[in-house]
Chains A and B, each alone.
Chain A
Amino acid sequence: MHHDSFFYLALVYLTAAVIAVPIAKRLGLGSVLGYLMAGMLIGPHLLGLIGEEGQDVMHFAEFGVVMMLFVIGLELEPSLLWRMRSAILGLGGLQVAGTAIIIGGLAFLAGLSWQASAALGMILSLSSTAIVLQTLNEKGLIKTTSGQSSFAVLLFQDIAVIPMLAIFPLLAIQTAGTDSASSQTWVGSLPAWLQTVVVLGAVGLIIAGGRFIIRPAFRFIAQTRLLELFTAAALLLVIAIAVLMTTVGLSPALGTFLAGVVLANSEYRHELISDIEPFKGLLLGLFFISVGASINFSLIVADPGSILILVLGLMLVKGLVLFVLGKVYKIGTDQNLIFSFALSQVGEFAFVLFSFALQNGIFDAELTGKMVAVVALSMAMTPLIMTLNEKVLLPKFGTEKTNDREADEIQEDNPVIIAGFDRFGNTVGRLLKANGIGTTVLDNDSDRVDTLRKLGLKVYYGDATRHELLHAAGADKAKLMIIAYEESEKNENLVHLVKKHFPHLQILVRTSDRTESYRLIEQGVDHVYRETLDTALRMGVDAMRMLGIRGFHAQRAANMFRKHDETVLKNLSAVRKDKKVYFSMAKSAIAELEDLIQADMADTDLERDAGWDSDSLREEVLARFQTPPKPEEPKVTS
C-alpha cells in the first residue's frame, strides 16, 4: 500500500467521512461526532489505515479552524452583538469565568502548575458551537429561551477564544525551560511585555488594513466579474493573514477573526462567507477526523475509570455552573435544564487550544492525550444526555408536569387548537380570542407557556407531534387545527399525525414559501397560508398608491392578484412533480419564477372591473350617432 500517497490518504479520509457522517447524523449524534468516529476508526489505534502522518494532516487541517474564525467574525454583526450585549457579557462572561476558575482551581489542587491549571480551566470552559447549535436546531429549540441563552453563551465563548490564544504564549513563557516552539519566531525572543505590544500592534494593523486596503481591493476584483477570482482572493486574504500572523508569532485564528469582524459590515460579507464556507467545512471535517485518529485508545483502556470520572465530573461542573447562572438570569426550570445540559460538553476549540498549548509547552503529551479523549467523549455524550433530559428529567421537573390537574377535568372543548405560538401563531390566537373564540395553545417554549398560563390561556407545553398531547388538548372535540410552527418539518409531521388520528379536524397550516406549500398541498391540505404573501401584497398596494394609483383600485388589484396567485399555486403544484425530478432546487426556483410570470401574463383579467369602466358604453353611445365624431370635438351631448 502506498501509505503516503496523496490519493491514498484522500481516499481513506473521504471514504471514512462519507460513511461515518451520514450514519452519525441518522443516529442523531451530529456531524462532528461522525467525523470523530471516522477518525477513530481509521486511526492507528483501530484499523490503522493511517499512521503517524495523521499529525501532519491535523496541522494542515487546523487551517479549517482559522477559516471558521474568519466566518464567525464575518457573521458577528455589530448590531446583533449590541442587541444581545447583556446576555453575551453577563451570562457568557460569567459562564466562562466561573467554569475556568472552578476547573482551574480543581486542576491546581490536583497538582498541576498554575499555568497549566489556568490554561486547562480556560480550554474546558468552552462548549461546542457546532454540536449545540445543531442539536438545538434539530429539536426546534433555537428560538426558545434556552436556545437564545445558549447562543449568547456560545457567542461569548467564540470571542473569548481570541484573548485565550493571545494569553497562552504568556503562560508558556513563564515555563521557558520546556518551551522551544515559540522561540523560533522573533517575537518569541522578545520580553513578555513587548510581545503584548506586538499583539496590539498586529491587531491595529489588521483593523486598518481591513478598512483601507482590503475593501478597495475586493471592489477592484469584483469588477472583473470572474467568480473564481473572487474565491481565490478570499482564500488569499485568509492565507495571507495567517502567514503574517505566524511570522510575527501570533495566532492566525486571531488575525482572521479580526479581519472577519472588520469586514462584517462590508458589502462583500455574504460573498466572502459563501466562498470560504465549503473550504471551512471540508477542512474542519478533516480536522475532526485527525483528532479522532489521534485519540489514544491505549490511554483510555489503561485507565477507563479515571477517564470516565473525568468526563462525568467535568460535565457535572460545567452543567452546575450553567444551571446556577440560569437561575440567576431567571430562566424557567425546564428551559434551564435544557440550557445546562446542552452546553455541558467541551467544544471543538479545545482540540485547537490543546495542540496550541502543547506547542507552547504548557501541557505535556500525556495530559494532552488524556484530555483530548475526555473532550471527545464529552462531545459524544451530549446527544445522549440531551435525550435523557428530555425523556427522564423534563417529565419529572418540567412545566409539563404541572398541567396534570387541569387535564383530569375535561374542560378542553375549545373549537380551535393552535400549535406553535410564536409571532405568527399568536396573532391568529389574539384575533380569535378578541372575538370570543376559545383556543387551546400548544407550544414548546416553556417560558412562553408559563407567561401565557398566567394570562389565563389554556396552554400546553410540549411537542404537538405527540399523539397523547393532542388528545389531552381536546383534539377529539375541536373543529379546527391551526398549525403555525416556524419549522416546516414540524408542520408536516403534525399534518400527517392529525390526518391519521383526528381526521375530523380541519387543518390550517402556516408555510414560509411556495415549496413548502406545494408539499402540503400534495399531502392534501387545502388551507395553506404563506406567511409573507399578504404583507408583501399590502406593501405592493402602498407602493401603487404612492405612485398615484387610487387606493380602491390598488386594493382590488391586490385582491385579484392574490386569488390569481393562489390558483396558480394549486395548478403548479400539480405540474411540479414532474419538474422537480429534472431540476436542482436552485434551478427549479428560477424555473418556477418563470412559470409564475408567464401565468401572470396569461391571465388578462388581472386588471379589470369593467362594471365601473364606461369605455364600452361610450363607444356604443358614440356609434349610435351616425356622424363619426372628430377626435378634437366629440359630438356627444346629453
Chain B
Amino acid sequence: MPRILILFAHPRLEKSRINLQLIKDITTIPGVTFRDLYEEYPDFDVDIKAEQQLLLEHDVIVFHHPFYWYSAPPLIKQWIDLVLAHGWAYGSAGRMLEGKFWLQIITSGGPESSYQATGGARFTIREYLIPFEQTARLCKMTFLPPLAIQGTHRMTSEELGIHSRRYQKLISGLADGSIRSEELTPFSYTKDYFESVEGK
C-alpha cells in the first residue's frame, strides 16, 4: 500500500472556514501522515533531517495549501529550499525521491473561470504551478494533476461538502490502493478524473 504524507501549510488555519472543513476527516485516514507545517515550525526552523526521513517513509507527498499570490505560503517555499537538498533530492547523486509522487491540493478564492487566458487571473492553475511541477521533475518525482478547490469566497456548504468528499475519496483511495497514481496522470486536474469516474 502506498503511504501518504500530507504537508499542510496555512498560516491562519483558525480563520479558514474552507480548510478547517477540508482537513477535518483527512487526518484520521489509515496510512496517512498529516503534518501541519505552521504548527510544527512556527519559527520557520524546518528540521531538515526529520523532514527528509519522513519523505523516505512515504510514497505520495501531498502539499495542501491556499493559493496565496498565485503560489504557496512562504513556509512551503522554505521547506522546499531546505529539505530538497542538492545531492539528496536532486543532482547527479540525489536520487532519494525517485519514483515518488507529488500531489498539490490548492484552495483559491477566485473561481475556476477566472483562471483562464480570458479571465482575470489570465493564466491557468497548471501554468501557475509550473515551478512546482519542474521541482518535482528535478527530484525525479511524478507530478500528479492538482486538486484545485476554487471559488471559495462564494462557496456554499453543499459545494464545500462535495469538495471535501472528493478530497477524502482521493486520499483514502490512494492510501488503500483503490485509486492508483497512474490513473490520474492522463488528466490535467484531479477534478477531471473525478468527473470522468462519476460520469460513468
A559 to B46, CA, bound (A): 11
B interface bracket (residues with beta carbon within 8 Å of A): 10 to 19
Contact B87 A616 (CB under 8 A): yes
Given contacts A616-B91, A617-B91, contact A563 B45 (CB under 8 A): yes
- Asked whether B48 is an interface residue with its Cβ less than 8 Å from the other chain, the reply is yes
List 8 additional contacts besides A556-B45, A611-B85, A620-B91; criterion CB under 8 Å.
A608-B48, A610-B48, A610-B86, A611-B82, A612-B81, A616-B87, A617-B86, A620-B92
Chain A interface residues toward B at CB < 8 A: 556, 559-560, 563, 608-612, 614, 616-617, 620
A235 to B48, CA, bound (A): 61
**What distance in Å separates the Cβ of A603 from its nearest Cβ neighbour in chain B?**
12
- Asked whether B14 is an interface residue with its Cβ less than 8 Å from the other chain, the reply is no
**What distance in Å separates the Cβ of A617 from its nearest Cβ neighbour in chain B?**
5
Contact A609 B86 (CB under 8 A): no
A620 to B87, CA, bound (A): 9
Q: For A617, what are the chain B residues with a Cβ–Cβ distance below 8 Å?
A: 86, 91
Contact A559 B43 (CB under 8 A): yes
A606 to B82, CA, bound (A): 15
Q: For A563, what are the chain B residues with a Cβ–Cβ distance below 8 Å?
A: 45
A609 to B47, CA, bound (A): 10
Closest A residue to B83 using CB positions: A611
Q: For A609, what are the chain B residues with a Cβ–Cβ distance below 8 Å?
A: 82
Q: For B45, what are the chain A residues with a Cβ–Cβ distance below 8 Å?
A: 556, 559-560, 563
A315 to B121, CA, bound (A): 87
Q: List 26 A-B contacts (CB under 8 A).
A: A559-B43, A559-B45, A560-B45, A563-B45, A608-B48, A609-B82, A610-B48, A610-B85, A610-B86, A611-B48, A611-B81, A611-B82, A611-B83, A611-B84, A611-B85, A612-B81, A612-B82, A614-B86, A616-B87, A616-B91, A617-B91, A620-B86, A620-B87, A620-B91, A620-B92, A620-B93
Q: For B83, what are the chain A residues with a Cβ–Cβ distance below 8 Å?
A: 611
Q: For A608, what are the chain B residues with a Cβ–Cβ distance below 8 Å?
A: 48
Docked complex: B7-23 residues within 8 A CB-CB of A:
none
A563 to B93, CA, bound (A): 30
**What distance in Å separates the Cβ of B162 from its nearest Cβ neighbour in chain A?**
35
Q: For A612, what are the chain B residues with a Cβ–Cβ distance below 8 Å?
A: 81-82
Q: For A560, what are the chain B residues with a Cβ–Cβ distance below 8 Å?
A: 45
Q: For A610, what are the chain B residues with a Cβ–Cβ distance below 8 Å?
A: 48, 85-86
Closest B residue to A615 using CB positions: B86
Closest A residue to B47 using CB positions: A563
Q: For A614, what are the chain B residues with a Cβ–Cβ distance below 8 Å?
A: 86
Q: For B43, what are the chain A residues with a Cβ–Cβ distance below 8 Å?
A: 559
**What distance in Å separates the Cβ of A14 from its nearest Cβ neighbour in chain B?**
58
**What distance in Å separates the Cβ of A42 from its nearest Cβ neighbour in chain B?**
65
**What distance in Å separates the Cβ of B86 from its nearest Cβ neighbour in chain A?**
5
A556 to B82, CA, bound (A): 13
Contact A616 B81 (CB under 8 A): no
A559 to B82, CA, bound (A): 15
**What distance in Å separates the Cβ of B79 from its nearest Cβ neighbour in chain A?**
9
Q: For B84, what are the chain A residues with a Cβ–Cβ distance below 8 Å?
A: 611
Chain B, 122-163, contact with A by CB distance < 8 Å: what is the 0/1 string? 000000000000000000000000000000000000000000
A620 to B81, CA, bound (A): 18
**What distance in Å separates the Cβ of A551 from its nearest Cβ neighbour in chain B?**
14
Q: For B92, what are the chain A residues with a Cβ–Cβ distance below 8 Å?
A: 620
A612 to B84, CA, bound (A): 11
A628 to B92, CA, bound (A): 18
Closest B residue to A614 using CB positions: B86
**What distance in Å separates the Cβ of A348 from its nearest Cβ neighbour in chain B?**
55
**What distance in Å separates the Cβ of B11 from its nearest Cβ neighbour in chain A?**
16
Q: For B93, what are the chain A residues with a Cβ–Cβ distance below 8 Å?
A: 620
Q: Which of A563, A608, A614, A620 has the most CB of B within 10 A?
A: A620
A556 to B48, CA, bound (A): 13
A70 to B43, CA, bound (A): 52
A560 to B92, CA, bound (A): 29
Docked complex: B33-73 residues within 8 A CB-CB of A:
43, 45, 48
Q: For A611, what are the chain B residues with a Cβ–Cβ distance below 8 Å?
A: 48, 81-85
A56 to B83, CA, bound (A): 80
Q: For A559, what are the chain B residues with a Cβ–Cβ distance below 8 Å?
A: 43, 45
A612 to B46, CA, bound (A): 13
A556 to B87, CA, bound (A): 22
Closest 6 A/B residue pairs (Cβ): A611-B82, A611-B81, A559-B45, A617-B86, A616-B86, A610-B85
Q: For B82, what are the chain A residues with a Cβ–Cβ distance below 8 Å?
A: 609, 611-612
Closest B residue to A610 using CB positions: B85
Chain B, 79-110, contact with A by CB distance < 8 Å: what is the 0/1 string? 00111111100011100000000000000000
**What distance in Å separates the Cβ of A29 from its nearest Cβ neighbour in chain B?**
51
Closest B residue to A556 using CB positions: B45
A616 to B91, CA, bound (A): 9
A612 to B87, CA, bound (A): 13
**What distance in Å separates the Cβ of B89 from its nearest Cβ neighbour in chain A?**
10
**What distance in Å separates the Cβ of A453 from its nearest Cβ neighbour in chain B?**
32
**What distance in Å separates the Cβ of B93 from its nearest Cβ neighbour in chain A?**
8
**What distance in Å separates the Cβ of B183 from its nearest Cβ neighbour in chain A?**
33
**What distance in Å separates the Cβ of B187 from its nearest Cβ neighbour in chain A?**
32
Q: For A556, what are the chain B residues with a Cβ–Cβ distance below 8 Å?
A: 45
**What distance in Å separates the Cβ of B196 from its nearest Cβ neighbour in chain A?**
39
Q: For B85, what are the chain A residues with a Cβ–Cβ distance below 8 Å?
A: 610-611
